[in-house]
Amino acid sequence: MQPLIKINNLIKSYKGFQLGPVDLEVDAGTIVGLVGSNGAGKTTLIKSLLGMISPDSGTMSMLGKPIQQIDDIDADLKNKIGVVLDTSAFTQESRVRDVALLGRWVFSNWDTRYFQQLMDRFGLAADKKVTDLSRGMGMKLSLAFALAHHPRLLILDEATAGLDPLARDEVLDMLRDFMAEGELPGEAAVVSVAQEPRAILLSSHITSDLEKIADRIVCIDDGRKVFEADKETICNIAGVARCKSDQVERVIAVLTDALDDPSSLRVVEGKYSTDLLVPDRFAFAQAFPEIPVEPVSLDDYLALTLKGEQL
Amino acid sequence: MKAMICSDFITMKNSLGQLLILNVLIAVIITVFSNSVLAGTAALAVMIPFMYVLSIAAYDDMNGWQCFRLTLPLSRRQVVAGRYASTIIVFVACALIALIYAFVFMGVCSLLPDGAVAEELLFANNPVETIIATVGMTLFIALVVSAITLPLMLRFGMTKATRVIPVVLVLLLAGAIYLAGEMGIEDQLAWMLVTNGGELVFFTPSLQLALLGADVAALVLFVLSSLIAMQWYAARQF
């Protein structure tokens, strides 16, 4: 099946910063987490994809439709995409009912009943003003707006930033529901629009959220893609080995010979030990039973990858 | 385009109501204290349009709304066309409201006992064609100014446009004054003006005709302005 998002060799330059060349694919049925520090280029990538800025070069497509020009994302395509940016973008004076009215006017497949269900779930009254909403409530309103036209693709840019843990979990639950609704039934002969496989591109620097929900992680730093891996590979297979100083040289030599791609190894010298990021902690434990090796969180993986010395 | 018009009116719904109440009050104060129905009517016809153009552009810049709007099923051309359409709707509505205000105000004055209000506030001293011409003149001003400012606001955003617009307006005004002097425009327009015992009589039939022509020309300028704004907005990076 064709990926819902496909980006090849995307380049966008600003004075003092260049994004790319970057490749990215978001397959149907997957949640891709786009991670990186502030200013890494995540928002530039999303803005390029959404036609807010013109890339210098590269090709992009969404839901199989090529996007060459800013206005190539036509109404038909936008009706199949839900977007949440890093702020609740509705104008301050609007009320929740105005947001619903806007949705009814702009989206051809707007589902008023579903939007109302989401509002009831969040406890958002129709006459509540946007300016009176907390950040968490504002983001929930934005997410409900993005979901109420039953998109196939969700693009979220720092949608959970600034939310408390409970609100973040609630947002993640909504995203899980969104994906579940689009799951293909086993042997179904007819696939309805609502059952078309969906996908989410979720940009965030909150790695714990991505650990909970993403299937695949793409890390961008200083405008370049640093790594792309399945979350399972990172959190369940990779590990961090705590080597003593006299072990480091031997371990590195062995791993460099043994690994197909030793560039994924990272070394961080600590005060009492040297941490070594290894792609397969089980294989490492077998090869070096005397060296303790631990699972690595996405946060640590990110830190070791970005700050560690590449071999 | 309908969606964009709707979006603009949803955004401005509360503000427009407040602006209307506030500006009717201001119009009444101006009318009463200047003893001029025309002054109050003109103020009402021109103030809300200008406030609308400025406020809606300011809302665009708030909370990243105009970035987010680009993710809705609206093309950039539709955004611009919708903005111009909502603006002209407000202008025409305000012109009608100003006309209604003038007639209601004079109607109320005529119901009051003789001498309770100044003679200048009664129907006898404010012919219908004069009131219509006044509103036509304010419509002309609103159309011309917005035809100049709207493309700049859409191109640069409200924050940057506040620095650019005054410069552009001053340059255009200076240019217009220079050209008018060079072309001897006063002599060419003399046929429209009639004096009565040395005092200038406004809103003669000739001047009314000229005003109508000016409104049509301003409308053409407004449409041309929308085409320029579409080009500029299409190239804007957010």
pLDDT at B127 over 90: no
Answer yes or no: are the C-beta atoms of A199 and A26 closer than 8 Å.
yes
- 3-class DSSP state for residue B8? helix
pLDDT at A188 over 50: no
Residue B100, pLDDT > 70, answer yes
Tens digit of each residue's pLDDT (9 = 90 or more) over A215-234: 999 999 999 999 999 999 99
CB hemisphere CA count around B107 (13 angstroms): 7
Query: What's the Cα-to-Cα distance from B28 to each of A227, B114, B206, rounded to whole Å?
Result: 68, 20, 30
A152 touches chain B (CB under 8 A): no
CB contacts, 8 Å: B70 with chain A: 50-52
pLDDT digits (tens, 9 = 90+) for A9-29: 999 999 999 998 999 999 999
Ramachandran sector of residue A42 (left: φ over 0; alpha: ψ -120 to 50; beta: rest): alpha
Lowest mean pLDDT among A144-158, A205-219, B16-30, B197-211: B197-211
Its ipTM equals: 0.86
Residue in A with minimal Cα distance to B64: A89
Sign for the CA dihedral angle at A152, A164, B72, B8 comes to positive
**By CB neighbour count within 10 A (0-12 exposed, 13-18 middle, 19+ buried), where does A232 fall?**
exposed
Give the model confidence (pLDDT) of A286-297 as tens digits. 999 999 999 999
Q: Which of residues 71-100 of B touch A (CB under 8 A)?
A: 71-77
Average pLDDT, stretch A105-133?
93
- Distance to chain A for B23, nearest Cα, Å: 20
Angle at alpha carbon of residue B146, lines to B144 and B149, rounded to 5°: 115
Residue B90 pLDDT greater than 60, yes or no: yes
User: Where are chain B's structural domains?
Assistant: 2-234
Residue A187 has pLDDT above 60, yes or no: no
CA neighbor of B133 nearest in space, from B56, B45, B52? B45
Percentage of chain A beyond pLDDT 70 is: 96
Question: Which chain A residues have a beta carbon less than 8 Å from that of B68?
Answer: 83, 85, 89-90
Average pLDDT value for residue range B107-136: 87
Confidence at A93, pLDDT banded by 50, 70, 90? confident
CA atoms in the 13 A half-sphere facing the CB of A27: 8
Average pLDDT for B119-142: 88
Asked if A168 contacts A202 with a C-beta cutoff of 8 angstroms, the reply is no
Q: b/e string for A142-173 if b means 16 or more Cβ within 10 A?
A: bbbbbbbbbbbbbbbbbbbbbbeeebbebbbe
